[in-house]
Structure 1
Amino acid sequence: MDKKILVAFAIMALPVATSASSFSDKLNKILLPDTSRVFDLDEVVVVAQPKENYKLRRQALSSSVFTNFELSSLKVNDITDLAYYVPSFVMPHYGSRITSSMYIRGIGSRINNPAVGMYVDGMPLVSKNSYNFHTYQLDCVDVLRGPQGTLYGQNTEGGLIRMYTKNPFDYQGTDINLGIATHFYRNAEVAHYSKVNDWFAYSVAGFYNGQNGFFTNTYSGEKADKYNEAGGRLRLMFKPIRKVLVDFITDYQFVRQNGFPYGEYNSASNVTSDPNTDYQGNYKRNILNIGLNIKVKGNGLDFYSNSSWQYLKDNMLMDIDYLPIDYMHIGQRQLQNACTQEFTLKSNNTNSWHWTFGIFGSYQWLKTYAPVYFGDGITKPIADGIQNAMQNAMIESFMKRGLTQQAAIAMIQKMGGISMDVSINVPEIFHTPQFNLGFYHESSIDITDRLTATLGLRYDYSHVNVHYDSQAIMAMTANVMGQQAVYNLISHLDNKTHNNFNQLLPKIGFNYRISDSGSNVYATLSKGFRAGGYNIQMFSDILQTELNSNSQNAMRGSYDVPHKDADYERVSNTISYKPETSWNYELGTHLNLFDNKVQADLSTYYMQIRNQQLSVMAGNYGFGRMMVNAGKSSSCGVEASFRGRAFNNHMNWSATYSYTRAVFKDYKDSVKVDGKNTEVSYKNKYVPYVPQHSFSATADYRFDTSCKALTSIVVGANVYGNGKTYWDENNTSSQKFYAAVGAHVDANFGKAVTISFWGKNITDTKYNTFAVQSSVDGTKRTFAQQGNPVQFGVDIKFHID
């Protein structure tokens, strides 16, 4: 197999691409004499695409496609499981369903607007808070890498993920899937697909998924990552007349979980401790997505209408100091309603000009209630400081009257002493509606029978609003020698502001077919865009700063911090961040080698990014995350994917590799050194959260049997690896390269029953999926989430016709 891969690499070199077909024909007779053949997966799984005129491997872009068989073999339960097998794509397990940080080619986001788009059965998911969900009964998944803004809009700067569930017109029967594994993982799915007649089909599906968790919170003894989730899906498909298809989908999911199992990381020993927090993080979410897709096939063109309504309601509690002492924790409740509507016209002729026109609109209404709670770890030192200041002032006053220090202290204690209690509350409510409108066109022109040019242009407009009602209340209760006084220091910010962003997104691509087998080379230039917005996560930091700077005013009585127009202008400038734009230059090839026994995809790219949006800890105190802009950065790399079949289709195999170099070119920030603000430059530092290397390999071999009951046994193995990954802008903390191995053995009893024994991370590799630095207690510490350890399980699948 190594010899074949080396030959494929040699053929994929662009300068000799035109001779690849004849060269592979000669080697085919020597190296691969069997009758194995591999087909383009997006041709095997037929899915109607309302925008593209060509299959993915005939387009000038990099992509990966996974069928239901591959998703099942890899034990994919959500996109985080799939990311390991896609070049340049990372979406680690970050500790809860609310976290859906995805990075493709060094472009990504932990908070606010996503950089990678997601579609499910034609519905564009508006909120990244709904990206991380349980996937089941999928037919296939496409992952498109590089900017897809021309056809898919502003939040697809890094790439696009498209998921498709099974179509009841094409697939019928009842599926029952049951699973159990160590750490009491349990899973149950039931789905029924029925084609009632030629014009109506439906499917109904439901699932339950749960796990007791891998990591224990040593403070409480409770599992820090246990969860339970369930959901259901209904799909109704109508063909009222021959050229019209109506597809109605409603999908609901609920999850309740303990989350954020971050433990302290010791860089000297390279050991991450179990979580140890006085507040156990948890998350609860309800999501409901309803979509209506209509396709009308006409003479020479097709019309598509895609409508959706998306509802999200969730509740999160997180201990953001990650320590057993109560410094602070936050709550967050979100209520979102979003509507999208898209109309598309696409040609369906055999002419040399293929085109797509469309208009897209969306409106998102989002209310966020995000109180911050300050515990004794913060309030007690404040109270002790005020109490000591009051007591020292009183002692000094008595000493001026002739008493000694000891006598003054005794006198104060005799008269009732001095004590101070401090409490801080930060209630916050945010309304952040957004409106987006886009117009787009893309043409593919066959210049010759082998050369195709693609020209695209999109105009995107975004209107973002924020209404913040945020306040910090410091209540100080003083008991001074028998007398009690209560003073309140209040800072209240209540204001509205908005901004508008617009962008033209061009795309130019060329695809040249180098053989009749479908092999091609391509070049593309495209622009990516992510709208700007407002940080709501950092208001506690702003308000805490105001309380500290006005604390002396409250010593003489209750005090409300005044705010003028100039103050609100400064707040608006502080919380806003700019749009991010990028230019992507890409060369690549899609090769079908050895009589289609091997497929090879290779690409190299360079991205220039302006105002890259980065998630960092809020500046003064590090309470909450905020989005900032790096002036300039770049990302370049290579991607390689191979897949094939051998031994008369008994063996399926795949391999991927990617290298990503994402660095800052112009990024300066202000940090505190010895209490003073100092400018620091991150030029040539690596962008955090982006692995420099990633690779994967899979192999499945089928042994046919002569037994009537047991028709075949499949033995498979997989391996993936990532690293080096930096966790901060200064590149002081990182995860070195690691690899994990999985395996499975499947017993197939015809089409009716399959029993699968599987293992994940059977090497029990120790690694971190995420790390963050905190100095809430005055000591700089690193907290990390560990990757899941070894796990073994068994699945049983039934299919009833």
Structure 2
Amino acid sequence: MNTKRSIISKAVTLAMTSGLLLHANAYAQDAETEQAETAKDDKSFEQIVVTSQKRVQSISDVPVAVSVLRGDQIESAFANNVENLQALVPSVSFRKGTTTRNSALTVRGIGTISFSIAAEPSVATVVDGVVLGRSGQAFADLYDVDRIEVLRGPQGTLFGKNASAGVVNITTKDPSQELTGSLSTEFYQDNEYRLKGTVSGGLTDDLSASLTVFQGKFDGYIDNVYNNETVNGYDREGARAVVLYEPTNDLKVKFISEFYSADDDCCADLEGVSSGRNPDSEAAPSSATIADGIDLEQRQIDHDFESRTIDDHSAFSVQVDKTVGDYTFTSITAQRSWENTEFREGDFTSIAGDSDQPVFGVPFQLHDVGEQEWSQFSQEFRVASNLTGPFNFLAGMFYWNMDSERNFTRDASCQNNAGQLDDALTFYAQNNLSGDDLTNALSDLDAYADSLGVSCNANDIVSATAFMSTEFNNWAVYGDGTYDLSDDMRLIFGLRYTDDEVSYKHRRISNDEYGRRGVGVRPATENTDAEGVVDETNLSGRVGIQYDLDQNQMVYATYSQGYKGPGFNVYYNFNPDNDGRPIGAEESDAFEIGYKYASRDLLLNVALFSTDIEGFQANNFDCSDGACITRLTNAGDVTTQGIELDMMWNATDNLTLIGGAAYTKAEIDEFNCPEEATCTDRSGLDVPFSPDMKYSLTAEYFMETEHGFDVYYNASYIYTDEQYSDLPGNTGEFNPHSLLPDYSMLNASVSFSFKDDAFRVSLIAKNLLDESYATTYSGDNFRYQIPRDADRYYGVAFKAQF
């Protein structure tokens, strides 16, 4: 990996080479742009705008289930990363992995959770119009956000890249012509701090620019009793520069450059239930079995190898918008790269690999190091009518390419529980001996092992390295439109054609001189040298109708199709016989009925939905070779259905209530049993990370005083129902360890504003109820992810702006 550059050098580089795209409100006429700007200061909910349909529109006019998080709302909640979306948007859940590349978002219970580097996410993430190849690219800090729109359901006719479950659309802030700037800091318990500085203003009459720099650091909240160090913290920095060029009223060009680096000693799996691997350790949990419940108060580990993730991101893109008559033509060109290195403790104890006895009677060592590089290029052209006349449309062409390379090495204890050492020595002898020497060696393998001084015990560490690469090529043409059947009713329609090609190469070699098998390490007899390619096309669309009940209310009904491309299960212990088979595309059929109301003081959105997904791509249990593992497959068909509600209410001039609720039933319809496995029916069982009920309510209260300052109160309550974090096994039963208990969260802050908000001081309290919870069950009947916000802690923030 490259040495992390300093934040100062990044800022200088950005100031010289800034680039990226123009805000989607460039699709609208100048009057609509002014409306969007006015909306930022207008408390009327009628003026809340979204660009999810590539135009500036009032949220109440968009016939799509969409939740909008404004930048000030995100700042007031001190929600610092995408992971916090699951608290602010009830339809979203987050699966926390041991590294950003293994974490995932789900919408309405649907998402892709996989270690494979040859699979796409079901939930697309878009930043300033640029589609990210992996969701993990977006799991960085939110430090320059104007708004986040979460669109539920298929969105292929509106976005450059297809999505089968939903889209998280992130829009960053534009530079201003007026010179402005801000400096903010946050300090929390356990030596956590965050620092952000922004300056923005006009360079000439038609050129404006902004520069934002960010830095954050946290020692962590998990105690490693092995070395008395604190882990699960972070050390991050980033910078974004934006240049906006508007030489005429009908031409806009916007550039963005961004760099982001992170060095996180995260995320160590906690022993929530006793593993029995080191019962005398100070870090042993209080729960002996799952019948005792998960030890959600566990905050200690005993690891001799530090789990750590190093991320380096860079991005550059440019968007050009040219208006000709009633049409706006747009070009978006983008290049992004992501380097990710993970160090993973896989044996979860400090005494592993020390014994001279064979496994599995004694603790075994398993340590992983994996480096991966992603590089993606995308080009999008589109034309949009400017909302004049009865017929309006958006049409586009999209091309996307992503290359990925990954090297992964595992060092683990030698494994000889089934006599595997004999197989290794036979293979070694056949490749190194001949004649009588070979005959003698094969006739007495024990004597041959003694002559070589070879054993296969826990303290005999063997390793193998896998070299993997993938390439995605995706191109598509799409269109979406509306036709006014009358003043109150309009027809909705859209169509998309997609062409996908995915290829991979996989080569795994044993690094052990004798080619021995280890725990999770394939022997030399199972070295791989494989490659494959799959391509698929898809035609999908949507149709619907929208009816305005009056100037404040409307209803809509839509049918839409979603699509996620094919892939392969390419990972470290890739097996050509099973994993070399292509994984088919994931396709969805979604029905949605919605009602929207918007006035100056009340915004109410209600959506009923039902989505059938065929070829659901998920980590499926496969016990066909005698040991149960999870393998990315087309696990079967699933259905998700339910009801969602979003609400914003100016209850008084000073009190605003923001709330949301989602009741979701995501269930298995049909289960695809792995070949050669014996399975029972799993129909009707839950899909992972799909809590039946989630809801949140936020209260914002403003109080004016006569003492030269104003006071802002903010409090939010979030409830998340219990949920499974794994598919059920082949027997049709869930592992009881995978059931994550329900939990509630109460966050609050009070801010004191001075001199027309030129200076603000905030007192912050997270998880006032001090209710602990787990976000992920990681496996092995004992491993869990328990986040920082599962503890009560306090902080203070300072912000100055001009």
- TM-score in terms of structure 2 length: 0.81
Decide which moves more: 741-750 or 424-433.
424-433
What do the CA deviations read for 1:524-572 (whole angstroms, capped 9, x no partner)? 10011111111122x4263xxxxxxxxxxxxxxxxxxxxxxxxx6x356
Q: Is the 8 A contact 1:754 1:798 kept in 2?
A: yes
Match of 1:724 among 719, 722, 725: 722
Retained in 2: the 8 A contact 1:503–1:529? yes
Question: Contact between 1:760 and 1:792, CA under 8 Å: does it hold in 2?
Answer: yes
Partner of 2:482: 444
Q: Does 1:596 align with 2:600?
A: yes
Give the alignment of 1:202-351 within 5 angstroms. Answer: 202-266=209-273, 267-270=290-293, 271-272=295-296, 273=298, 274-324=300-350, 325=352, 326-351=364-389
Q: CA deviation at 1:469?
A: 1.4
- Match for residue 588 of structure 2 among 582, 588, 591: 582
Matched-pair contact (CA < 8 Å) for 1:226–1:257 = yes
The amino acid of 1:358's aligned partner reads G
Is the 2:105–2:135 contact (alpha carbons within 8 Å) kept by the matching residues of 1?
A: no
Post-superposition offset of 1:417: 12
Structure-2 residue corresponding to 1:496: 531
The answer to whether the 8 Å contact 1:41/1:67 transfers is: no
- Given candidates 67, 76, 94, the residue that maps to 1:73 is 76
Write out per-residue CA displacement over residues 654-696 of structure 1, whole angstroms, 9 at most, x where no aligned residue.
Answer: 111111111111114359xxxx953233221101122221110
1:61/1:725 CA distance change after superposition, 3 Å: same
The aligned residue for residue 540 of structure 1 is 573
| Structure 2 residue 773 is the aligned partner of structure 1 residue 767 | yes
**Contact 1:87–1:641 (8 Å) recurs in 2:** no
**Structure 1's 226 and 653: CA in aligned 2 closer, same or farther, altered over 3 A?**
same
Q: Could you say if the C-alpha distance between residues 219 and 622 of structure 1 is closer, same or farther in structure 2, counting changes exceeding 3 Å?
A: farther
Identity of aligned pairs, percent?
20
Structure 2 vs 1, CA of residues 331 and 761 (structure 1 numbering), >3 Å: closer, same or farther? Answer: same
Alignment coverage as a number of residue pairs: 685
| Structure 1: distance between partners of 2:243 and 2:766 | 36
- How far apart are the structure 2 equivalents of 1:66 and 1:514? 26
Query: Take 1:224 and 1:300, find their aligned partners in 2: how far apart are those partners?
Result: 57
Offset of 1:513 from its aligned partner? 0.8
Q: Residue 505 of structure 1 aligns with which residue?
A: 540
Match runs of 1:68-467 below 5 Å: 68-111=71-114, 112-153=119-160, 155-169=162-176, 172-266=179-273, 267-270=290-293, 271-272=295-296, 273=298, 274-324=300-350, 325=352, 326-374=364-412, 376=413, 378-379=414-415, 420-421=455-456, 423-467=461-505
Amino acid at match of 1:641: D
* Contact 1:151–1:458 under 8 Å retained in 2: no
SS at match of 2:397: strand
Going from structure 1 to structure 2, the CA distance change for 1:385 and 1:471 (only over 3 Å counts) comes to closer
Cα gap change, 1:646/1:329 in structure 2, threshold over 3 Å: closer, same or farther? same
User: Which of 772, 794, 797 is residue 796 of structure 2 equivalent to?
Assistant: 794
> Are the aligned partners of 2:46 and 2:600 in contact in 1 as well (CA < 8 Å)?
no
Residue 38 (str. 1) matches residue 54 (str. 2): no
Q: Which has the larger share of strand?
A: 1
The 8 Å contact of residues 532 and 580 in structure 2, kept in 1 or not, is answered as no
Counterpart for residue 284 of structure 2: none
SS in 2 for 1:685: coil
Q: What does residue 561 of structure 2 align with?
A: 527
Shift of 1:68: 1.8
**Superimposed CA distance per residue, residues 348-405 of structure 1 (whole angstroms, 9 cap, x where no aligned partner):** 152000011100001111111122222x3x4375789769x99xxxxxxxxxxxxxxx
Retained in 2: the 8 A contact 1:94–1:769? no
Partner of 1:734: 739
Q: Does 1:60 align with 2:94?
A: no
1:244-295 per-position Cα deviation (integer Å, ceiling 9, x unaligned): 1010000110000112221222322221443333322111011001110111
Contact 1:471 1:490 (8 Å CA) reproduced: no
Q: Equivalents in 1 of 2:800, 2:43: separation in Å?
A: 28
For 1:629, the aligned partner's letter is: N
Which residue is 1:636 aligned to?
Answer: 641
Which secondary structure does the structure 2 equivalent of 1:57 belong to? helix
Query: What amino acid does structure 2 have at the position aligned with 1:259?
Result: C
> What residue number does 2:681 align with?
681
C-alpha spacing 1:37/1:173, structure 2 compared with 1 (3 Å): closer
CA drift of 1:50 comes to: 7.5
Where do 5+ consecutive residues of structure 2 fail to align? 1-41, 274-289, 353-363, 427-446, 517-522, 729-733
Query: Deviation at 1:191?
Result: 0.7
Give the aligned partner of residue 761 of structure 2: 755
Shift of 1:473: 5.1
Deviations 1:168-190 (A, max 9, x none): 13664111011100121100001
- Return the alpha-carbon distance in structure 1 between the equivalents of residues 344 and 622 of structure 2: 16
- The structure with the larger Rg is 1
| Superposition pairs of residues 531-680 of structure 1, within 5 angstroms | 531-537=565-571, 539-540=572-573, 542=575, 570-571=577-578, 573-574=580-581, 576-592=582-598, 596-616=600-620, 619=623, 620=625, 626-648=631-653, 650-669=654-673, 678-680=678-680
1:130 aligns to what SS in structure 2? helix
Mean alpha-carbon deviation: is it higher for 612-621 or for 286-295?
612-621
Question: What letter matches 2:93 in structure 1?
Answer: V
Question: What secondary structure is seen at the aligned counterpart in 2 of 1:216?
Answer: strand
Equivalents in 2 of 1:177, 1:188: separation in Å? Answer: 6
What SS does the corresponding residue of 2:690 show, helix, strand or coil?
coil
- TM-score when normalising by structure 1: 0.81
Secondary structure of the residue aligned to 1:577 is coil
SS at match of 2:247: coil
The offset of 1:347, in angstroms, is 0.5
